[in-house]
Structure 1
Amino acid sequence: MIEILATLSASAAAGMRIATPLLLIGLLQGSSLWSQVPILSHISPPILLACLSCWSLVELLASKKLWGQRLLQLVQLFMSPVVGAIMGLAVANATATPSWMIGCIGGSLALVLQLVQVGWFYRLCGLPLWAVFLQDTLCVALVLFAFDAPWQGGLIALILLWFAVRSAKQWYDWYRQKS
C-alpha cells in the first residue's frame, strides 16, 4: 500500500510539471542519478542532467507568463502520461504490483491532473500567478513526499484527484447553465 501511495504522489507531481520531478528523482538518488529509473537509465546522466535542468528552468520561468503557460500546456498535455508512468515506476520498483499497472495508474493520474490544469487555464483565461507558485511548490513537495512520507504524499494526490472530480462537475454545471 505504501508503494501505491508513493506512486500516486510522484505521478501527481508529473501531472503538474514534467522535468522538475524527473530532475528531483535523479538528484535524490545520489551518485547513481537515474540508474534506477526506467527508460532514463539508458540515457547518459550528464546529458539527461543538462536537458532536465534546462527544461525545468523553462518550466519555472515560462509558467509565469500567459504565452508560456500555453506553450507548456501543449508539451505537458502530451508528455504528462509518459512522465507520470516513469515516475510511478521509479518510485514503486519494489512492489509486487505488476509494472504495467503502476505505469497505467501513474500515467492516468498525471493526465487527469494535467487536463484539469488545462480546463482551469481556459476557464480563467490564464492561471493566476499565485496558482502557478502553488503548483511549483506542490510539485517539489510531492516528489519529496513520495520518498520520505508516502502516506502524506498519497493523501495529497488523492485530494488533488478529488479536486479534479469536483472541477469536472463544476464545469458540467456551468456548461448546462450556459445552454
Structure 2
Amino acid sequence: MIEILATLSASAAAGMRIGIPLFIIFLLQGSDFWSQVPIFSHISPRVLLTFVIGCSFAEIFASKKLWGQRILQIIHLCLSPIVGGIMGVTVASATATPQWLLAVIGGLFALVLQLVQVGWFYRLRGLPLWAVFLQDTLCIALVLFAFDAPWQGGLIALILLLFAVHSAKQWYDWYHTSR
C-alpha cells in the first residue's frame, strides 16, 4: 500500500512539472541510480543531468509568462504520462509490486492531473502567478514526500485527485448551463 501512495505522490509531481521532479530524484538518488531505470540507462549521466537541469530552469522561468505556460502545457500534456510512469517505477523500484503496474498507475495519474491543469489554464485564460508558485512548491514537496513520507504524499495526491474530479464535475455543469 505504501508503494502505491509513494507512486501517486511522485506521479502527482510529474503531473504538474516534468523537469523539476526528475532533477530532485537525480539529486536524491545519485547518477548511478539512473543506470537502473530502463529508458535512462542508455544515456550518459552527465548528458542526462544537463538535460534535466535545462528542463527545470525552462519550466521555472517559462511558467511565469502566458506564452511560456501555453508552450509548457503542450509539452507537459504529451510527456506527463511517460514521466509519471518513470517516476512511479523509480520511487517504488525496491518493492515486490510489478513495475509495469506502477508505471501505468503513475502515468495515468500524471495525465489526469495534467488534463485538469490544462482545463483550468483555458478556463481562466492563463494561470495566475500565485498558482504557478504553488505548483512549483507542491511539486517539490510531493517528490520529497514520495521518498521520506509516502503516506502523507499519497494523501496529498489523493486530495489532488479529489480536486480533479470536482473540477471535472464543475466544468460539466458549467458547460450544460451555458448552452
Give the TM interval when normalised to the shorter protein. Answer: over 0.9
Aligned partner letter, 1:143: V
- Residue of structure 2 equivalent to 1:85: 85
1:1-179 equivalence runs, <5 A: 1-30=1-30, 32-179=32-179
- How much has 1:99 moved relative to structure 2? 1.4
Aligned positions, number: 179
User: Hey, what's the Cα distance between the residues in 2 that align with 1:34 and 1:26?
Assistant: 8
Aligned partner letter, 2:140: V
Give runs of ≥4 in structure 1 deviating > 4 Å.
none
Secondary structure of the residue aligned to 2:35 is coil
Q: TM-score, normalised by structure 1?
A: 0.97
- How much has 1:10 moved relative to structure 2? 0.4
User: Hey, what's the Cα distance between the residues in 2 that align with 1:170 and 1:152?
Assistant: 27
User: Hey, what's the Cα distance between the residues in 2 that align with 1:80 and 1:139?
Assistant: 13
- How much has 1:33 moved relative to structure 2? 4.9
Secondary structure of the residue aligned to 1:84 is helix
Aligned partner letter, 2:65: K
User: Hey, what's the Cα distance between the residues in 1 that align with 2:116 and 2:24?
Assistant: 24
User: Hey, what's the Cα distance between the residues in 1 that align with 2:17 and 2:60?
Assistant: 9
User: Hey, what's the Cα distance between the residues in 1 that align with 2:34 and 2:97?
Assistant: 22
| 8 Å CA contact 1:38, 1:89 repeated in 2 | no
- How much has 1:117 moved relative to structure 2? 0.3
User: Hey, what's the Cα distance between the residues in 2 that align with 1:114 and 1:80?
Assistant: 7
User: Hey, what's the Cα distance between the residues in 2 that align with 1:121 and 1:104?
Assistant: 25
User: Hey, what's the Cα distance between the residues in 2 that align with 1:22 and 1:123?
Assistant: 29
**Percent of pairs with identical residues:** 74
| 8 Å CA contact 2:31, 2:45 repeated in 1 | no
| 8 Å CA contact 2:6, 2:92 repeated in 1 | yes
User: Hey, what's the Cα distance between the residues in 2 that align with 1:24 and 1:73?
Assistant: 21
Aligned partner letter, 1:82: I
| 8 Å CA contact 1:38, 1:90 repeated in 2 | no
- How much has 1:26 moved relative to structure 2? 1.0
Which runs of no fewer than 5 residues in structure 1 stay unpaired?
Answer: none
Q: TM-score, normalised by structure 2?
A: 0.97
Which range moved further: 139-148 or 88-97? 88-97
- How much has 1:100 moved relative to structure 2? 1.4
Aligned partner letter, 2:67: W
Which runs of no fewer than 5 residues in structure 2 stay unpaired?
Answer: none
